[in-house]
A and B are shown apart, each in its own frame.
Chain A
């Protein structure tokens, strides 16, 4: 009994983490380190080339396009999703009944298999698909939507469709964490709805924001599956993402470029996570 208390607190819990850590190291961390190593060597030769691969990658038009698109995609769809899902959450929060029903509806897209969603995409956005049919009825120009710069927005909509419910539930949880007494106190002080929102709700939600962002970014990478299944290796330029490029580099055995690109990508994510975590923890 007494002995146990002597176990230095600094050691507790590590044994719980250890098995997972071993597996993660073997199956994820070591492969990652291998990617980093490959980014400094030639594709098939394995000869050390220093930063040459990075130079190639940064001067590569395809990489710049793909990185730009990926940034643009994240920059557009993450804020859009955050705002939309917050709006939906606020609406739902103000609604006292049917809440469960609506939550269910919004979450359902998460369960739809990618391939089935793709079938839907094809029917919707084909040159002679539903959207074109609608435009035709309204005497507006129709198009092969996936082959125009609309493709980017189709990707955004599909991402939002799939993740709205997820983020909405996250916001709802954040909302429920704000003590009702705060609102009561504010109302006593004569604050209006708007003021309540700005001075109580938003600050109250701030801690949730960072987690929601991390998860939203995480989910945004999954959109590639749909894009790939619908448009293949070379979609319209506007939705040509880093994952397309990595895929194609892989296909052409340009492992050197792929590794360097992947490390740059990972670095960007690392900075983002650090940034969010600092905000979040502090």
Chain B
């Protein structure tokens, strides 16, 4: 009796568990995926190598000739174009021909496109001013009318102009394997170009909405504005049945299919040696698909090489008969020819996995990870970002999730400490001492790193930094010694020349406060960790003197979005204003080599202007960014430290996406060396044409760079990086400057809020 009863209960329980399990399964699918990596040490992976290109050349296009040779068209440093074949050894280049000598690039003559045919001929587009209408001097907004010319080049480089009927700007062009040029010009459908008559005939029927296309074997794939991938027969141009598996895999991989530049494409196609084989490549990797088949396999995982590097743009893809791949790409520095070969002995999945965690997304870090993985094929760095635009999680929830993972023992190995409660982590012994790593690293600004020391240990090394500066005429600059004298000077300048700004007119009080924050914040926290209200009150008082509510131009904040708020501490936007005599005083953080170049240009072009590090309420301050630490609970501490060492090398530090200046001196030097002379920058408000100003960048002289570096070497006081204190201080600034509360009340309000936080 009893036994039966127990049985029935157990049965009932099992049944209901079964129902529940059924529910859970559907949602928990991604658990399995992770598990499959465990099948240990499966071997075989494609490895990436860079094929050395001729020095300082930029490559237009690449093609695989019928005999399998890889051919490129490039432009050298002098602006001359030539066509090269890759020799059998796979690393040296043999010139096939030079393009006409009169095509040498000048300020007004460009070769904009070169497309190579597998049969050996080529098609080129040149751009030059139309007729005699030369540019009218002085009017900077009116660019001269440019005109395109089209040429067919035979196998020896002899150019014949093609009398193309459509005078439109070419978007994309590609030769088919039969030597037919398929091209897409602005406002025209995908067409075939007749080299004799210049006539365009529609290539595919019913694809008006096409943005770009790719060719694989006998199929041409068009991508339209909605991101739909539609196949057409290459020979008849008739639409084929939609290849569901192909479209779905591409769409679901989460890559954006929109076009952002005309040079690079988000999606490349290539045919394989088999008829039905399709290869395609995105930032996620290179995939193989059989036409209309049900499977698409990932051949090369983009997260393990340059493909996943946000800095890499894709230009063209070729698959060879011996299952190798060539991808022509470009990054912010130069063209890249990537060669992928299969290595039997390399583990399919890298053996060491390093988990990295950052609260916010950071492009430099992703770029560095990509570089690191390429060099260390046995390491996979998995970066998790806490707060992303799509997950909408608050910073505090993201930190809670991180905390739980650490407590559960599967936390990250490498931590980006920006925005993390570092004090608490240190107090609980969760961070590893990185003094050794800092000592080993070469060419670091050691003052910046050792400024982070506490009790003789370094728990976080900043990878980037920014530094507060003040820019003004030399006499005024001399008078500025602290926040009070900055305010005195601002008032003086405002009185003597009311037409010039002393603070950014498009910045409201909170933002101006943000520009001064890093030069002052270090003075607000007393030794016992509590807030020094007196000094904070001083901040608000002087801020009110500097800020001019009447000069504030309210622009619709909606238009800028959130990025606007993030970069408000920057001096960048104001540099141009000084250059064209609109502002008399600028202050704020310098974030990038580009800003530094603007500053140097201003100093070189205009007499009497100078800059120096801004001493607010604290002297020699800097804002550490991308503070990187290693978890003391990590099971791969040595590997993690090795990775951090790499992050500090010149190579990694040269990566530049605007997230701060490198802490490696040589990397900063080399960034400055690469500044392009002659680039013109301009800015203005769309509703006010008079606001338009521009500057032609000069390459900073070695002295100018040396001067800046000597300033950097003086910095030894990190600004407060605590975001809760920052929010509290900045949020009171608005009310204080609007006169709703006195500086004393504002300081008290901050103290009340922050004391509670510090008491926790």
* CB of B629 to closest CB in A, whole Å: 14
Interface centre among B6, B425, B756 (most CB of A within 10 A): B756
Q: CA–CA, A232 to B723, complex, Å?
A: 14
The interface residues of chain A, by DSSP majority, are classed as helix
- Find residues 229-265 in chain A having any chain B CB closer than 8 Å to their own CB: 232-234, 237, 240, 245, 247-255
Q: How far is the CB of A143 from chain B (nearest CB, A)?
A: 10
- CB of A254 within 8 A of CB of B760, answer yes
Stretch at the interface among B399-407, B642-650, B705-713: B399-407
Q: CA–CA, A245 to B756, complex, Å?
A: 10
> Could you tell me the distance in whole angstroms from the C-beta of A246 to the nearest C-beta in chain B?
10
Q: Which residues of B contact A247 (CB under 8 A)?
A: 396, 400
Contact with A along B398-434 (1 / 0, CB 8 A): 0110010011000000000000010011001110000
Interface positions, chain A 1-42, Cβ under 8 Å from B, are 3-4, 15, 18-19
Q: A61 and B756: CB pair below 8 A? A: yes
- Decide yes or no whether A60 CB sits under 8 A from chain B: yes
Residue of A44, A233, A252 most packed against chain B (CB within 10 A): A252
State in angstroms the CA–CA spacing of A253 and B404 once bound together.
Answer: 8
B240 at the interface (CB under 8 A from A): no
User: Would you call A43 an interface residue if the criterion is a C-beta within 8 Å of the partner chain's C-beta atoms?
Assistant: yes
Assembly CA distance A206 to B430 (angstroms): 54
**With an 8 A cutoff between CB atoms, is B273 at the interface?**
no
CB distance A62 to B428 under 8 Å?
Answer: no
With A19-B12, A62-B756 given, is the CB distance from A251 to B430 under 8 Å?
no
Q: A18-B9, A44-B428, A60-B759 are in contact. Are A253 and B407 (CB under 8 A)?
A: yes
Interface residues of B in 342-366 (CB under 8 A from A): none
Query: How far, in angstroms, from A196 to B499 measured CA to CA in the complex?
Result: 82
User: Does any Cβ of A come within 8 Å of B134's Cβ?
Assistant: no
| Most B CB within 10 A of own CB, among A19, A43, A65, A251 | A251
Cα–Cα, bound, A253→B400 (Å): 8
Residue in A3, A65, A254 whose beta carbon sits within 8 Å of that of B756 in the complex: A65
Q: Which of A60, A253, A255 contacts B421 (CB 8 A)?
A: A253
Beyond A43-B428, A44-B430, A251-B396, whether A237 also contacts B13 by CB under 8 A is no
- Provide the residues of chain A in CB contact with B755, threshold 8 Å: 61
Interface contact A237-B756, CB-CB below 8 Å: yes
Q: In the complex, which residues 190-241 of chain A have their Cβ closer than 8 Å to any Cβ of chain B?
A: 232-234, 237, 240
Contact B421 A252 (CB under 8 A): yes
- Given A247-B400, A251-B421, A253-B407: A60 in contact with B760 (beta carbons within 8 A): yes
A253 and B753 contact, CB distance less than 8 A: no
* Given A62-B759, A248-B396, A253-B430, 14 additional A-B pairs, CB 8 A: A19-B12, A44-B428, A60-B760, A61-B755, A62-B756, A65-B756, A237-B756, A247-B396, A251-B400, A251-B421, A252-B760, A253-B403, A253-B406, A254-B760
14 A-B pairs (CB sep. < 8 Å): A44-B406, A44-B407, A44-B428, A44-B430, A61-B755, A61-B759, A65-B756, A237-B756, A248-B757, A249-B760, A253-B421, A253-B424, A253-B425, A255-B407
Residues on A facing B (Cβ under 8 Å): 3-4, 15, 18-19, 43-45, 60-62, 65, 232-234, 237, 240, 245, 247-255
Nearest 9 interchain pairs by C-beta:
A252-B424, A61-B759, A44-B428, A62-B759, A62-B760, A252-B421, A253-B403, A251-B399, A19-B13
